[in-house]
Amino acid sequence: MSSGSGKRVVVTGATGNVGTSVVRLLAEDPEVESVVGLARRFPDRTPPKTEWSTVDLSAEEGGLARVFEGADAVVHLAWAFQPTHDPAVTWRTNVLGSLRVFEAVAAANVPALVHASSVGAYSPGPEEERAVDESWPTHGWPDAAYCREKAYLERALDTFERDHPRTRVVRMRPAFLFKRESASEQRRIFGGRFLPGPIARPELLPFLPDVPGLRVQALHTEDAAEAYRLAVRTDVRGPFNLAADPPVDVELLAEMFDARPVRLPRTAARSAIAAAWRLHLLPASPHLFDAVLRLPLLDCTRARVELGWRPQRTATEVLEEFLHGMRAGAGAPTEPMRGRKVG
């Protein structure tokens, strides 16, 4: 059911992995008249019907409401993953910056707010292996800053919805998002500058660590962006799980790499990650590793039924594309997504 909204859409975090895809799809939508992309630095290219505005949410003390005036929807994607050694810095951007966005949406009377939550907002999954729907608790894993921040914003949105019932709030809770162009950015964020992209070649990985309980879901960024576009245009509210099949485990990866799984105890894997993290060799923290081991699998029935959304790529296809991007040093013409060979 079309709500008639979406003529002017503001997107925060517009130059990142998800933002570049969301901006492009909105710009291609004939029912969207204009898109305003907010980012700390302007990209090298501008899609049709799009204008840019420089905003640093970690330092923004005012003026967002003026940017949001006249918007039919705000899609809030901005997020900082680093520095993991200083969670106060990410808290300033991710939590305090998001609260500024929510306050500005209310001040500008924007009809719709579409917020990027995450599978990381969910509490640990059930002991039996089953997918959970959107009613599963969203208390996160408290030891991981990423999950703690996502869960905190879920509570903030509970209050926002109570205080501003006329604003339509949508919460997207996607699995891990990948595309070819995000390969260099995500290698830097999670693997660090010492992780070479060519290591993703099958011939260089004869063995893969098999950590008990390590199983996640993946989704192509373009498929997630389509869900955001549908949420802007459709009169829906509430949370939506987003993921593609099949779940990613060591058996699937071993088949992709033609490698042999080698059992590695959780404690050994965590100790290795913790040591590399303490030495600043690995940006991804051991606390995030703890959280990933406890993530639930997502049931995406609500997105299929109410949004009419279905992923166009399997998780296997997503990972194959992403790995090709890692080998090639792929990127995009924005500062967050710069690649080794862009241009």
What is the average pLDDT score of the chain? 92
- Write the CA distances from 154 to 9, 114, 160, 186, 302, integer angstroms: 22, 12, 10, 25, 18
Structure confidence at residue 3 as a pLDDT band (50, 70, 90):
very low
Phi, then psi, of 59 in degrees rounded to 5:
-120, -5
Structure confidence at residue 33 as a pLDDT band (50, 70, 90):
very high
Rounded mean pLDDT, 328-343: 79
Tens digit of each residue's pLDDT (9 = 90 or more) over 138-156? 999 999 999 999 999 999 9
Is the pLDDT reported for residue 193 higher than 70? Answer: no
Is the pLDDT reported for residue 62 higher than 80? Answer: no
pLDDT for position 197: 54
15 or 61, which is more confident? 15
Rounded mean pLDDT, 175-182: 96
Residue in 60, 53, 13, 6 with CA at minimum distance from that of residue 30: 6
Structure confidence at residue 325 as a pLDDT band (50, 70, 90):
very high
Is the pLDDT reported for residue 60 higher than 80? Answer: no
Tens digit of each residue's pLDDT (9 = 90 or more) over 249-262? 999 999 888 889 99
- Write the CA distances from 263 to 241, 328, 333, integer angstroms: 31, 30, 40
Structure confidence at residue 198 as a pLDDT band (50, 70, 90):
low
Rounded mean pLDDT, 230-239: 97
pLDDT for position 200: 54
pLDDT for position 196: 57
pLDDT for position 267: 96
Residue in 267, 303, 296 with CA at minimum distance from that of residue 139: 296
Number of neighbouring beta carbons within 10 Å of residue 276: 16
Rounded mean pLDDT, 103-115: 97
pLDDT for position 343: 38
pLDDT for position 6: 46
* Highest mean pLDDT, choosing among 84-98, 249-263, 321-335: 84-98
- Structure token digits, residue 278: 């303490």
Is the pLDDT reported for residue 300 higher than 60? Answer: yes
Decide if 50 contacts 23 (C-beta within 8 A). Answer: yes
Is the pLDDT reported for residue 218 higher than 80? Answer: yes
Cα dihedral 39, 41, 46, 48 in deg (nearest 10): 20
Residue 178: strand pairing partners: 220
Structure confidence at residue 340 as a pLDDT band (50, 70, 90):
low
Structure confidence at residue 79 as a pLDDT band (50, 70, 90):
very high
- Write the CA distances from 314 to 20, 156, 321, integer angstroms: 21, 33, 11
Tens digit of each residue's pLDDT (9 = 90 or more) over 8-31? 999 999 999 999 999 999 999 999
pLDDT for position 128: 83
pLDDT for position 1: 38
pLDDT for position 201: 58
Collect all residues with Cβ–Cβ distance below 8 Å to 235 and sequence separation of at least 6.
1, 2, 3, 168
